[in-house]
Chains A and B, each alone.
Chain A
Amino acid sequence: AQSVSQHNHHVILSEAASLELGCNYSYGGTVNLFWYVQYPGQHLQLLLKYFSGDPLVKGIKGFEAEFIKSKFSFNLRKPSVQWSDTAEYFCAVNGGQTGANNLFFGTGTRLTVIP
């Protein structure tokens, strides 16, 4: 069965620090990978997605994620975080051509950025 692990439950950074949030998945076939973000008081929203092609994916607000197939990972990165990046971040995965009903979410990582 598919599963997604986000080992960092809470990350605290100062502004301008670099960010890397880990995401590892368990699935043997072709995967689609996603990061969602929930800012305080706002809807959960899509940050970036990977289906195929270039394993380095760029999303909104300067975020990027790299798919490393050999490591079953899809870590989220940002070179310099801002206070406004404070949010909860969820990694998600499904397989190949399956639909969103087969989307598995991680438990989330809460990011707190200190001004």
Chain B
Amino acid sequence: SQTIHQWPATLVQPVGSPLSLECTVEGTSNPNLYWYRQAAGRGLQLLFYSVGIGQISSEVPQNLSASRPQDRQFILSSKKLLLSDSGFYLCAWGQGRYIQYFGAGTRLSVL
């Protein structure tokens, strides 16, 4: 069966520090992978998606970037965090027209 591992679960970082959130998928090959940000009362906002190794599409211009160094690995990064980067980040896997699985999420607090 398919599984998404996402870590860390919570993270507290100072403003200006770098960020690296990792997501790995098991039980499938060549998945479409997604990074979402979930803000209270604002639903899920798609940040990045990837249809293959090294292929990244950005949906929202911002302080974040994504990379896909391996087929089942998706990384969300930042060189210098801003206060506004605080939020709940979700990795997701989908094939076809919808998201099949979400990760457990990372709650990021930038102080």
Contacts and interface: CB of A to CB of B under 8 A. Distances in A.
Interface of A: 4, 9, 32, 34, 36, 43-46, 49, 51, 90, 92, 94, 97-101, 103, 105-108
Contact of B97 (A9, A43, A90, A97): A97
B27 to A, nearest CB: 15
Given A103-B46, A105-B44, A107-B43, A45 B32 contact: no
Main secondary structure of the interface of B (DSSP, over half): strand
A44 B97 contact: no
Contact of A100 (B34, B41, B103): B34
Interface of B: 4, 32, 34, 41-44, 46, 49, 57, 59, 90, 92, 94, 96-105
11 contacts: A43-B105, A44-B102, A94-B98, A98-B97, A99-B97, A100-B49, A100-B97, A101-B49, A103-B98, A105-B43, A108-B43
Contacts of B59: 101
Given A46-B98, A103-B46, 17 more contacts: A4-B43, A32-B97, A34-B98, A43-B4, A43-B101, A43-B102, A44-B102, A45-B101, A90-B43, A92-B98, A94-B98, A99-B94, A99-B96, A100-B94, A100-B97, A101-B32, A107-B43
